[in-house]
Amino acid sequence: MRDGHCLIAQSGGPTAVINNSLYGIIEEAIYTKSIKSVFGAVYGIQGLLQNEYVPLHTLSKEKRNALRYAPGAALGTWRYKVRDQDISTMVSNMMENEIRYFFYIGGNGSMFVANCIYEESLRRGYDLTVIGVPKSIDNDVMHTDHCPGFGSAAKFLATSVVDMHMDVRSMANSNRITLLETMGRDTGWLAASCSLVKNVNQGLPTLVFIPEAAFSREHFLKKVKEAYDDNGYCIAVISEGIKDSSGHLLSENRAKGDSVGRPQLGGVSSYLSELIEKETNLKARYVVPSIWQRSSMGISSDTDTKEALGVGKHAVRQAVEGKNGIMTTLLRKNDRPYEVTYSSVPLRDVAGGEKAVPVEWYDYDRCDMREPFQSYGLPLIQGENSVPMQGGLPVYQTL
Condensed to tens digits (0 to 9), the pLDDT of residues 178-221 reads 999 999 989 999 999 999 999 888 889 999 999 999 999 999 99
198 and 229 housed in the same domain: yes
The number of distinct structural domains making up the chain is 2
Rounded percentage of the chain residues whose pLDDT exceeds 90: 87
Cis amide prior to 346 (ω within 30 degrees): no
Residue 399's pLDDT band (cuts 50, 70, 90): confident
- Asked if 221 and 234 count as a contact pair (C-beta separation under 8 A), the reply is no
Residue 248's pLDDT band (cuts 50, 70, 90): confident
312 and 255 housed in the same domain: no
pLDDT at 351: 86
112 and 213 housed in the same domain: no
Residue 238's pLDDT band (cuts 50, 70, 90): very high
- Residue 371 in domain: no
133 and 226 housed in the same domain: no
**Does residue 33 carry a pLDDT above 50?**
yes
**Does residue 260 carry a pLDDT above 60?**
no
Catalytic positions, written as ranges: 138
- Residue 27 in domain: yes
pLDDT at 200: 84
- Residue 379 in domain: no
Q: In degrees rounded to 5, what are phi and psi of residue 232? A: 85, 0
What global pTM score does this model have?
A: 0.95
pLDDT at 101: 98
223 and 252 housed in the same domain: yes
Residue 255's pLDDT band (cuts 50, 70, 90): very low
- The predicted model gives 277-306 an average pLDDT of 95
- The predicted model gives 274-279 an average pLDDT of 95
- Residue 373 in domain: no
Q: What is the CATH number of the domain that holds 207?
A: 3.40.50.460
What's the per-residue H, E or C state across 145-170? Answer: CCCCCHHHHHHHHHHHHHHHHHHHCC
pLDDT at 179: 97
Condensed to tens digits (0 to 9), the pLDDT of residues 358-391 reads 999 999 999 999 999 999 999 999 999 999 999 9
76 and 180 housed in the same domain: no
Any idea what DSSP says for residue 3?
-
Taking the C-alpha atoms of residue 105 and residue 40, their distance in angstroms, rounded to an integer, is 11
pLDDT at 171: 83
Q: What is the CATH number of the domain that holds 123?
A: 3.40.50.450
| Residue where a domain stops, chosen among 252, 277, 294 | 294
- Asked if 355 and 140 count as a contact pair (C-beta separation under 8 A), the reply is yes
- Asked if 44 and 9 count as a contact pair (C-beta separation under 8 A), the reply is yes
Taking the C-alpha atoms of residue 187 and residue 67, their distance in angstroms, rounded to an integer, is 29
- Residue of 113, 161, 104 lying closest to 352 (CA atoms): 113
Condensed to tens digits (0 to 9), the pLDDT of residues 58-102 reads 999 999 999 999 999 999 998 888 999 999 999 999 999 999 999
Beta carbons within 10 angstroms of residue 130's beta carbon = 27
Least confident stretch, 38-52, 132-146, 260-274, 329-343: 260-274
| Helix pair angle (302-320, 18-29), 10° resolution | 30
210 and 321 housed in the same domain: no
138 and 269 housed in the same domain: no
267 and 328 housed in the same domain: no
Can you give the residue range of the structural domain that contains 254? 154-294
Taking the C-alpha atoms of residue 148 and residue 381, their distance in angstroms, rounded to an integer, is 11
Any idea what DSSP says for residue 298?
G
160 and 258 housed in the same domain: yes
333 and 286 housed in the same domain: no
- The predicted model gives 168-185 an average pLDDT of 87
32 and 126 housed in the same domain: yes
**Does residue 262 carry a pLDDT above 80?**
no
| Residue where a domain stops, chosen among 352, 368, 386 | 352
